[in-house]
Amino acid sequence: MVPGMIADRKPPPRRTQVDRREQSDRRMLRAATRLFARQGVSGTSLAEVGLAAGYSRGLPVDRYGSKLGLIEALLDSMAAWFEARVADSASGKRGVEAVLERIEAHVDGARKSPLATAALYSIYLESLAAMPALRPKVGALLDRWRGELVVGLRQAQAAGELRSDIDCEQHAAIILGALRGLIIEHLMADAETDLDAIRDAVTGLVRQAMLSPAPRKMVRR
């Protein structure tokens, strides 16, 4: 602090209501992400989220109505991130190429935002039993992702890249199931299992279903 300055305390910049709302939204969702990743959904109280975001304990309820509302808002923002990521990298691709891009996008999420991934998986897992109220929303999200993978597999099958005896619905479920299990493993073991190895194992599942086990031409990193 330099004495004699005109103002010791910087005047708070005047923010519009929209700004305030957007900022507090962002901060609360960030705080929730961090806390969910570290302590799980049911291990985190709404009060904690508000305080960790730098506000009062009451704001999250006021903003989102309920704990469920907060989690749904968080899921929405994560889904938006993923859609953008896929739209960016898989646009124009079809069949096996598109499928591999989607797999890479999932792995890349875990690589780029481990915290968000841990939070997302906490939500998945607790929706199974601890918080059944989450199931519809989580189920819809997973179904959408699986459906989009099925489209890619069907294209591949139609184009003769994939064996015709493959059940695309089931194979999509297997690919995503394995992918999620491996990412959980990765999160649990503090990143001991390499993400590239995970990607290779899952792309291996795709290659198993292909007509000619084509040479790997994966995107590096």
Partner DNA sequence: TCTTACTTGCTGACTGACAAGTAAGTGATA
Partner DNA sequence: TATCACTTACTTGTCAGTCAGCAAGTAAGA
Residue ranges binding a copy of itself (CB under 8 A): 36-43, 118, 121-122, 125-126, 128-132, 139, 170, 173-174, 176-182, 184-189, 192-194, 197-198, 201, 204-205, 208
Q: In the complex, what is the shortest distance from the CB of residue 36 to DNA, in angstroms, rounded to a whole number?
A: 11
Q: In the complex, what is the shortest distance from the CB of residue 169 to DNA, in angstroms, rounded to a whole number?
A: 35
CB of 47 or CB of 142, closer to a copy of itself: 142
**Alpha carbon distance 107, 85 (integer Å):** 12
3-class secondary-structure state, position 162: strand
What are the beta bridge partners of residue 210? 162
Joined together, the tokens standing for residue 41 give 């959904």
Interacting positions 117-136 with DNA (CB under 7 A): none
CB of 43 or CB of 160, closer to a copy of itself: 43
23 near DNA (CB under 7 A): yes
Residue 81 contact among DNA, a copy of itself, none, beta carbon within 5 to 8 Å by kind: none
Q: In the complex, what is the shortest distance from the CB of residue 98 to a copy of itself, in angstroms, rounded to a whole number?
A: 21
Q: Which of 117, 137, 127 is nearest to 41 (CA)?
A: 127
63 near DNA (CB under 7 A): yes
Q: Which of 136, 144, 199, 208 is nearest to 171 (CA)?
A: 208
Binding mask 27-46 for DNA (x = CB under 7 A): -----------------xxx
The H helix count followed by the E strand count for the chain is 9, 0
**Alpha carbon distance 26, 93 (integer Å):** 33
What are the beta bridge partners of residue 162? 210
194 near DNA (CB under 7 A): no
**Alpha carbon distance 169, 177 (integer Å):** 12
CB of 19 or CB of 143, closer to a copy of itself: 143
CB of 55 or CB of 124, closer to DNA: 55
**Cβ partners under 8 Å of residue 60, min gap 6:** 28, 32, 46, 47, 49, 50, 67, 70
